[in-house]
């Protein structure tokens, strides 16, 4: 918990939170669950820890979404699942370390069935490591993941040492697809796109959203990618998100509502596009979510993602500071755009080309 408290307030972004979780929160447990099952209290704590590291409105993102960020949406890393990681670790132990665990488990079960020992000790025997390993193999077998399927995926490796190093990673990949934490990312997005009332059907919108995130992962910083994801999943802390009514936090109009549907057409967002990025502002919610990206070039996609990032950062800043002058907000939006591309060569090149151009894209 001290490691969690140190990182949950750092506001370092989704990628850094993921790496910190893997390195400082899960690393100690990964040694224990090679031979032990995760207790129920640990699984309950997993949900709490993920909520602390990825804050936002209630249920804006599920733990299975976090488990499938990499394989489903192309993010550089995913949050590890305790159940899946523990199961994969046991499969590695069965394959390389305790190779006779299954025969020992069968022998111990036979002895327990024929023994007249004190029944008080039977639960203790049932928790033996060979029994735990045997149960793990049965769970993996039910998910159609075996040592043979894992070895087949790693057939390109030549030495036993290379196979041992990659075995648990490949087991985790296969268990995420077929095991208890399997998840259809497209179906999850399809359910969420029903609320946006787009011209596209939810299925097509979900397919385009997945291709968008996989494309953005190669073009922008992880922080920008995460801001776009939060927008798609309705993760902004607006008044409407909490079933309340409020005015635009940028105070563009007394009749404008505090909701994402308004901010995509807000005057400050239009000015950012026209006066700074020199791009055309979105004309629909579908364009704001960049679901028309298949017809866009890379530079246009980068600039639109940078604009969404700047708007989201400015929204959070305005919630705490309430700027009363328009030029202060305008300057903050511009600085956020620079921050979005800082240290990323491809994004910097796209922004520089936009600043050097006088014609809107």
CA angle 108, 110, 115 (to 5 degrees): 90
Give the DSSP letter of residue 25. I
Pick from 29, 26, 28, 8: nearest CA to 79: 26
C-alpha span between 269 and 253 (Å, rounded): 13
Which segments of 209-259 are extended strands (E)? none
In tens digits, what is the pLDDT along the chain, a chain of 361 residues?
555 666 666 667 899 999 989 988 888 788 888 888 888 898 898 999 899 899 999 889 999 999 999 999 999 999 999 999 999 999 998 888 888 777 887 877 777 777 666 666 667 677 777 888 878 888 999 999 999 999 999 999 888 999 999 999 999 999 999 999 999 999 999 999 998 889 999 999 999 999 999 999 999 999 999 999 999 999 999 999 999 999 999 988 889 999 999 999 999 999 999 999 999 999 999 999 999 999 999 999 999 999 999 999 999 999 888 766 778 889 999 999 999 999 999 999 999 999 987 555 5
In a domain, 51, yes or no: yes
Domain termination residue (choose one: 155, 183, 211) = 183
Determine contact, residues 22/35, Cβ cutoff 8 Å.
no
The DSSP bridge partners found for residue 257 are 247
Number of structural domains found in the chain: 2
Domain that holds residue 1: 1-183
Residue 198 and residue 306 share a domain: yes
Determine contact, residues 49/4, Cβ cutoff 8 Å.
yes
C-alpha span between 247 and 258 (Å, rounded): 5
Residue 330 and residue 266 share a domain: yes
Domain termination residue (choose one: 122, 151, 183) = 183
Residue 163 and residue 258 share a domain: no
Residue 35 and residue 119 share a domain: yes
pTM above 0.85, yes or no: yes
C-alpha span between 351 and 40 (Å, rounded): 49
Give the DSSP letter of residue 133. H
Residue 63 and residue 82 share a domain: yes
Rg (CA), the chain: 25
Residue 178 and residue 278 share a domain: no
Residue 152 and residue 3 share a domain: yes
Q: Which residues contact 347 (CB under 8 A, 6 or more apart)?
A: 219, 220, 221, 224, 302, 306, 340, 341
C-alpha span between 77 and 27 (Å, rounded): 16
Residue 90 and residue 234 share a domain: no
Pick from 70, 68, 74: nearest CA to 218: 74
C-alpha span between 272 and 351 (Å, rounded): 13
Which segments of the chain are extended strands (E)? none
Residue 323 and residue 304 share a domain: yes
CA distances for 161 relative to 167, 168, 318, 320, angstroms: 10, 13, 54, 54
pLDDT, residue 4, reads 62
| SS3 state at 308 | helix
If you write DSSP's letter for every residue of 164-191 in order, what string do you get?
Answer: HHHHHHHHHHHHHHHSTT---HHHHHHH
Residue 284 and residue 160 share a domain: no
In a domain, 361, yes or no: no
Domain termination residue (choose one: 127, 162, 183) = 183
In a domain, 28, yes or no: yes
């Amino acid at each position: 918990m001290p490691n969690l408290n140190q990182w949950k307030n750092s506001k370092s972004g989704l990628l850094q939170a993921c790496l910190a979780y893997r390195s400082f929160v899960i690393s100690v447990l990964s040694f224990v669950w090679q031979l032990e099952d995760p207790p129920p209290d640990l699984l309950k704590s997993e949900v709490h820890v993920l909520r602390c590291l990825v804050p936002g409105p209630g249920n804006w993102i599920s733990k299975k979404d976090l488990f499938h960020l990499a394989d489903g949406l192309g993010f550089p890393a995913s949050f590890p699942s305790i159940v899946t990681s523990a199961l994969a670790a046991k499969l590695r132990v069965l394959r390389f370390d305790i190779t006779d665990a299954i025969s020992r488990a069968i022998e111990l079960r036979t002895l327990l069935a024929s023994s007249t020992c004190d029944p008080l000790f039977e639960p203790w025997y049932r928790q033996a490591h060979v029994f735990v390993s045997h149960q793990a193999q049965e769970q993996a077998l039910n998910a159609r993941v075996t040592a043979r399927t894992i070895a087949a995926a790693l057939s390109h490796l030549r030495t036993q040492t290379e196979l041992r190093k990659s075995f648990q990673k490949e087991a985790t990949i296969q268990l995420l697809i077929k095991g208890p934490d399997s998840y259809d990312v497209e179906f999850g997005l399809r359910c969420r796109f029903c609320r946006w009332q787009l011209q596209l059907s939810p299925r097509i919108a979900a397919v385009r959203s997945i291709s968008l995130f996989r494309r953005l992962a190669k073009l922008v910083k992880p922080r920008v990618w995460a801001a776009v994801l939060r927008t798609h999943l309705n993760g902004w802390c607006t008044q409407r998100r909490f079933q309340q009514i409020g005015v635009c936090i940028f105070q563009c109009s007394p009749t404008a509502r505090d909701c994402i549907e308004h901010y995509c057409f807000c005057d400050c967002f239009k000015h950012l596009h026209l006066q700074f990025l020199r791009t055309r502002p979105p004309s629909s919610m579908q364009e704001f979510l960049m679901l028309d990206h298949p017809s866009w070039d890379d530079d246009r996609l980068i600039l639109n993602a940078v604009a969404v990032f700047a708007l989201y950062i400015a929204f959070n800043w305005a919630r705490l500071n309430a700027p009363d002058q328009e030029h202060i907000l305008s300057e903050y939006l511009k600085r956020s755009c620079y921050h979005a591309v800082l240290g990323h060569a491809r994004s910097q090149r796209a922004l520089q080309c936009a600043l050097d151009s006088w014609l809107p894209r």
